[in-house]
Structure 1
Amino acid sequence: MANSDRVKVRIPAKAKKGEIIEIKAQLSHDMESGQRKDGDGKPIPRRIVNKFTCTWNDEPVISADWYQGVSANPITSFFAAAPASGKIKLTWWDEAGAVYEYVHDIVVE
């Protein structure tokens, strides 16, 4: 599993039960499309993040398949209703097998 220091998030620490909160996240990733060449003219191998998921206490919130059209350092923003206190887990997978995770504790009152 890759280090989560490549992830920036904005998720509230607290919410009221049923409140709609915004979850924003950015992954530091080059999203290399495979179309560019290095200084010697050799193609740079494709390496993109191709899946993103978010769970709240292990219940799915959102899942997305990504393709090479997604920019480098992708930003994700979506809304979720706060069901209960617990853990929000964001996970990204790239084609090289790297997994990036971020877990956030939230208190729902």
Structure 2
Amino acid sequence: MANPIKMRAKLKGEVTEVKALMSHPMETGRRKDKATEKLIPAHFIQEVVCTWQEKEVMKALWSGGVSKNPYIAFRFKGAKKGETVQLAWTDNKGESGSAATEIK
């Protein structure tokens, strides 16, 4: 998948706010293809992990109930401007995506 994650991180006082938009079809496995009337196979992100300074600061476990191209926002304490945060996802088909951004 091309450019699977767009993200940014901004320090506000002592709290870093991370926002990310992930490109992914997020198929539940329950929707039918209109042309063939067959079910579209499930294809969804199962795990999203954010790390900073080699520490896990956020972990989400998802299922097929999350919408296409999911957006996530969260906050954590302890970071400084100029440091880097990384976000990675893995889906139920073994595909993955990752991105890193500097905290502004």
Determine whether 1:103 maps to 2:100: yes
1:78 aligned residue = 74
Describe how 1:28-67 pairs up with structure 2 within 5 A. 28-38=23-33, 39-67=35-63
Give 5+ residue unaligned stretches, structure 2: none
Task: Supply the AA of the counterpart residue of 1:88.
Answer: V
Query: What TM-score, normalized by structure 2, do the two folds share?
Result: 0.86
Amino acid at match of 1:99: S
2:98 partner amino acid: E
Match of 1:10 among 8, 19, 24: 8
DSSP 3-state at the match of 1:11: strand
For the aligned residues, what is the CA RMSD?
Answer: 1.9
Sequence identity percentage: 35
Task: Give the letter aligned to residue 95 of structure 2.
Answer: A
Q: 5+ residue gaps in structure 1?
A: none
Aligned length: 102
